[in-house]
Amino acid sequence: MNEAILILQREHRGISAVLLGLKHLAEMAQSERIKPEFQVFRSMLRYIDEYPEKLHHPKEDEHLFVRLVRRAPQAKALVDALQAEHVEGAKRIRELERKLMFFEEGGRAGAREFLQAVDAYADFHWMHMRKEETELLPLAEKHLIADDWRAIERAFAANRDPIADIEERDFQKLFTRIANLAPAPVGLGEPWKKGPARTQPFGE
């Protein structure tokens, strides 16, 4: 398998790991006795928002998708749908951020709504990545020629200019930070405090 496909799949695994962690912690936070560390949720949302936006989608939209449609016009409907999902995903993250604020301010109802929104987002994003891996990447492997792959790999490497490289490292740092902050079994951070069942919003 070529390097470009491996890079995209590796990036999917990273996004997937954070989504899985986010789902798990949102479920944990449903307990009335748990006091969640909201910073972990904020860092996770930042990761699943900015990593695709800044590093992952540009590789797909500007390099892989464009070349695929040129070689295989029949892929256009699929590419259009995937690009529309990139835009839709960004909107859904804004919604998740609003739900997180409501959760932090509002307590019980907010916790439930946040979990529902996280589940819906994770399903949406997993479906998107699955579609890319099971429909788009096989089409690309079938129709793109060696010259295309060389150009795509060059473009991905050029993406690692000094600025992009800083971003890549920033995201690795953010990923490590999430792993250090999140409690087990998601990460290595301190367990979230337990107390009497809360009746007031957080911080009161």
By CB under 5 A, name the binding residues for Fe ion.
60, 132
By the 8 A CB rule, do 41 and 183 touch?
no
How many other β-carbons are positioned within 10 Å of the β-carbon of residue 88?
12
Please identify, using beta-carbon distances, which residue of 56 and 99 lies nearer to Fe ion: 56
From residue 26, alpha-carbon distances to 88, 175, 178, 187, 196 in Å are: 22, 18, 14, 14, 19
3-state secondary structure 15-51: HHHHHHHHHHHHHHCCCCCEECCHHHHHHHHHHHHHH
**Cβ-based neighbours of 149, under 8 Å, separated by 6 or more:** 2, 4
Nearest-approach distance from CB 194 to Fe ion, in angstroms: 38
Q: Which is nearer to Fe ion, 60 or 104 (CB)?
A: 60
Shortest reach from residue 90's CB to Fe ion, in Å: 11
Cβ 120 to Fe ion, closest distance in Å? 18
Residues 59-76, buried b or exposed e (16+ Cβ, 10 A)?
A: bbeebbbebbbeebeebe
The one-letter amino acid at 1: M
Q: Which is nearer to Fe ion, 31 or 83 (CB)?
A: 83
Q: Which is nearer to Fe ion, 29 or 144 (CB)?
A: 144
Least distance between Fe ion and beta carbon 83 (Å): 8
Nearer to Fe ion by C-beta: 37 or 153?
Answer: 153
- Terminal CA-CA length for the chain: 55
Q: How far is the CB of 12 from Fe ion (least distance, A)?
A: 6
